[in-house]
Amino acid sequence: MDDLTPQCNSSSQEYPCRYRNPDDQGTQYALIIIPVFLGVTTVLTITLILWKTCCRKWEQERAPIASLQDKPVSSESGYVAMAAVEHTLLPVRDPGLRQWEIPGDTAIEDLEFLRSGRFGPVCRAKLTQGGSSTAVVIKTLRDNSTTSKAKEFVNWIRFCARVCCHDNLVKMMFCQTELWPMYLIMEACSPGNLLHLLWELRKSDGESVDQVHEFSETSVYCIGKQVLAGLDYLASEQKLIHGDVAARNVLINSRLGVKISGLSLAFEVQQTGCVSSRSAAVVPVKWLAPERIMKLPMTVKSDIWSFGILLYELITLGSPPYPELKPLDTFPKLQHYYRMKRPDHCGAPLYDLMKHCWMWLPQDRPSFSAVIKHLDSYMYLAETKMICNKESMNMNQYSLIAGVVL
């Protein structure tokens, strides 16, 4: 039979039969297969490019760590002898940092990558000196950094050497600026991050977490006073404003000793006189005072507002603030005098202090000294019973509600 003979088994006249040419079927398959093949090839090519880019970036990020891991110790020179000697990007040596340079009899061991920081990888490590070992955090400069970035990193080390000398601030221990790689060694705390500890306490079932004893409202008062002492030192002695007061920027030890971290905004203001829009955007809106949201200059009273949010985090064992609101809906509600309700386990004096910290006008908020006095005066009324919050903490949900990238 001729290939062009119409093939039709239907008796209906509504849909006339069409000629079926085998070449037409092949053409239809080609029209489908070719675009699909091209699409898959394009996706694979893009994926390969992205993978290679990520690998290259990862290698660059890990390069300073590899140098630290491979470093021999030289006691003759008085400094750590690096496998990679003098680097072309090293800035002019600062005699003021000579006393902070890491001694030659000191070893850095057991490096563990934590995260990518402002200047490069941040690691946890063990510092061995004179037969004793100490847990430390090492902040390194990326291997591919520019000369200007290296100078900024040295300025950051100078800043830490001058500022981080209060009992409630994370202290600087050593640095390396005269050899490559450049790094800064800070003290570490255990359990560590306060926000993470609060989440662990939710799952403790009345047991201690990393030797932390029962966490009660009294503990909130104790931690709050130490945070205020550190913030007051920054403001009064160093003329600095922290700018990002939150549980995620507080470290804590097993005795509830507090160390404030996260001074990058204070450093930027000290260096440039202002906070860049990019840096300001890093601070989640739910921790910001109204004037900060309106992009007005941050003040000491801005930190007071954020301290009130920190108190809420403490008494709720790390709940996100304004849990019923999306981040972008927070400011309109604040304009209409909305404030968070009194949390469970929160006594009236503590809640009154929170509301005082959240006064709309900065001048109506208390000073650091007034808040410390309030905590001292009412601590005897604080509940000593362990705070319980059995609600599970979903990290994705927390990030979404809090507006924080974890």
Residue entry with tokens 């929170």: 354
Distance CA(354)–CA(290), nearest Å, equals 15
Task: With beta carbons less than 8 A apart as the criterion, state whether 376 and 229 touch.
Answer: no
Beta pairing partners, 115? 122
Q: Annotated catalytic residue: which of 2, 105, 143, 244?
A: 244
Distance CA(108)–CA(67), nearest Å, equals 11
249 is known to lie in a ligand binding site: yes
DSSP assigned state of 68: H
248 is known to lie in a ligand binding site: yes
Does residue 244 have an active-site annotation?
A: yes
Residue entry with tokens 């902040």: 139
Task: With beta carbons less than 8 A apart as the criterion, state whether 177 and 155 touch.
Answer: no
Beta pairing partners, 396? none
Q: How far is CA 245 from CA 89, 103, 125, 228, 272, in A?
A: 34, 34, 26, 10, 20
Question: Which residues lie closer than 8 Å to 205 by C-beta, 6 or more apart?
Answer: none
164 Cα distance to chain centroid: 19
Query: Residue 157: CA atoms inside 13 Å, Cβ hemisphere, count?
Result: 32
Distance CA(111)–CA(69), nearest Å, equals 7
Distance CA(231)–CA(229), nearest Å, equals 6
Beta sheet of 250-253, edge-to-edge order: 191-193, 250-253, 258-260
Distance CA(401)–CA(314), nearest Å, equals 17
Picking from 241, 350, 341, the residue whose alpha carbon sits closest to that of residue 291 is 241
Picking from 56, 104, 60, the residue whose alpha carbon sits closest to that of residue 80 is 104
Binding-site residue set: 248-249
Q: Which residues are catalytic?
A: 244
Binding-site residue set for Mg(2+): 249
Binding-site residue set for ATP: 248
